[in-house]
Amino acid sequence: MPITRIDLSATRSAADRLAIAEGVRRALQEAIGIPSDDRFLIITPHDPADLLFDREYAGVRREDIVYIQVILVGGRPQELKLDLYRRIVANLTEAGVRPDDVYIVLTENDLDDWSVGRGRAQLVDQGTVPGRRAES
Amino acid sequence: MPITRIDLSATRSAADRLAIAEGVRRALQEAIGIPSDDRFLIITPHDPADLLFDREYAGVRREDIVYIQVILVGGRPQELKLDLYRRIVANLTEAGVRPDDVYIVLTENDLDDWSVGRGRAQLVDQGTVPGRRAES
Amino acid sequence: MPITRIDLSATRSAADRLAIAEGVRRALQEAIGIPSDDRFLIITPHDPADLLFDREYAGVRREDIVYIQVILVGGRPQELKLDLYRRIVANLTEAGVRPDDVYIVLTENDLDDWSVGRGRAQLVDQGTVPGRRAES
């Protein structure tokens, strides 16, 4: 039940925005095993003047940044996160985003921090999530 | 000093949006003991095309999702969180939101992660927050 | 690589919004040692009706709140956070924001939670971040 916030320029079309969101969703499935119907993403288009970024920080050449914040349950091993970044960039390239323009940040929480409908805590009942280390 | 982000469709009226925010605030008071004047919420209305969700994931029937993210100090026992989810859904039902459309995610942080005015760290001075386990 | 979300009233001008963002960025540099080109901020202007806040909570007199959420790597000592709050407020005062209107919340994560371009995890390679305790 990751939830993803995507903040980008309003100059990107509705079709491109949808393709970007679908690219992130698919990467979560490919890298971490999130089910395809676990699809929850919030897109916020911004006036370019409100979307600030450095064009060269960390040796990257940014032109039109796409900010992606994924909130997800903690406990996934690092190699899954690294694979997630690569797959998001690969999928977003297909959606017309330059690899240098993809900025990703993860925020982790716990199983009891989610209620995806009806006021129930579905992950507490379920007891685990895909890709999580057994010892977590 | 929870802060709550509410992302919903711009088709919901200003009055409905306010009632939704008040329902979340009241649930925080009822479930966790947050004071009634500890009221900080950010509503972001979206074009429905930018608010993506699966209609049936986890056995829920979503039609017009309301995303609620609460950032709060960690250390509350699980039963308070579960009660919070139930009360948010109950209160939002009164505000005209279907129980299946309520999606909640919590993100926790610590006492020294808050400054609610004047550059002071009010919770560090205060030393605790309502509903927190004594041992935390 | 902190990323900062700034939510404020759309009645604040584009020039004021930019000055606010620059004030936060500069405070991150002054208090924590974030490099000046590590500059990533998302501004979201809101209809005042969608930006809810209590006018007097915690002994502060709010009139036109500016919500600032900074997501950053954990492990900075508390005194750096407290200094950050003071410097944000000082810088935002220069940008025309009343000290009582500055609301700050931090969310921490880890080194492997960041990819700032090209799908690489730059902080994993780097191994640390400015201002972090050696033992972290």
Tell me which chain A residues have a C-beta less than 8 angstroms from the C-beta of B44: 44
**Nearest beta carbon to residue C120 from set A47, A52, A85:** A85
Q: Is the pLDDT of residue C135 over 80?
A: no
Which of the four pLDDT bands, split at 50, 70 and 90, describes residue B136?
very low
pLDDT over 60 at A136, yes or no: no
Q: Which CATH superfamily does the domain covering C3-126 fall into?
A: Macrophage Migration Inhibitory Factor (3.30.429.10)
Residue A135 pLDDT > 70, yes or no?
Answer: no
Question: Which ipTM did the prediction report?
Answer: 0.96
CB interface of A with C, residues 96-125, below 8 Å: 99-108
Chain B nearest-CA distance from C109, in A, is 10
Contacts of residue B35 in chain C, CB cutoff 8 Å?
Answer: 57
Residue B51: pLDDT above 80?
Answer: yes
Q: Which chain A residue has the Cα nearest residue C38? A: A57
Task: Say what the pLDDT of residue C134 is.
Answer: 64
d(CA B130, CA B34): 6
Each residue's pLDDT tens digit, A25-62: 999 999 999 999 999 999 999 999 999 999 999 999 99
The reply to whether C15 touches chain A by the CB within 8 Å rule is no
Report pTM. Answer: 0.98
Rounded to the nearest angstrom, the minimum Cα separation between B5 and chain A is 12
| Contact between A112 and B82 using a beta-carbon 8 Å cutoff | yes
User: How far apart, in Å, are the Cα atoms of C95 and each of A50, A106, B40?
Assistant: 16, 30, 23
What is the pLDDT averaged over residues B33-55? 98
pLDDT in tens, B61-115: 999 999 999 999 999 999 999 999 999 999 999 999 999 999 999 999 999 999 9
Mapped to the 3 state alphabet, what secondary structure does B60-119 carry? CCCCCCEEEEEEEECCCCHHHHHHHHHHHHHHHHHCCCCHHHEEEEEEEECHHHEECCCC
The contacts of residue B104 (CB under 8 Å, 6+ apart) are A114, A115, A116, B68, B69, B70, B84, B85, B88
Q: With 90 as the cut, is the pLDDT of residue C7 above it?
A: yes
Q: Within 10 A of A37 (CB to CB), how many other CB atoms are there?
A: 11
User: Tokens representing A11?
Assistant: 């100059």
pLDDT value at residue A1: 84
Residue B135 has pLDDT above 80, yes or no: no
Whole-angstrom Cα Rg for chain C: 16
Angle at A104 between CA A102 and CA A107, to 5 degrees: 165
DSSP state of C83: H
| Domain residue limits, chain C | 3-126
Distance CA B108, CA A70 (A): 15
In the prediction, which pLDDT does C136 show? 46
Cβ–Cβ of B105/A113 closer than 8 Å?
Answer: yes
Query: Cβ–Cβ of B117/C106 closer than 8 Å?
Result: no
How much is the average pLDDT of A103-121? 98
Average pLDDT over residues A10-26: 98
C28-51 mean pLDDT:
98
pLDDT at B44 over 60: yes
Is any Cβ of chain C less than 8 angstroms from the Cβ of A93? no
Q: How far is C59 from chain A (nearest CA, A)?
A: 30
User: Taking all residues of chain C, what is their mean pLDDT, rounded to a whole number?
Assistant: 96
> Nearest-CA neighbor of C45 among C21, C28, C78?
C21
Residues of B tagged active-site = 2
Which residue's entry shows tokens 């330059």? A98
What are A96's two structure tokens? 């017309």
Which positions in chain C touch A85 (Cβ < 8 Å)? 115, 119-121
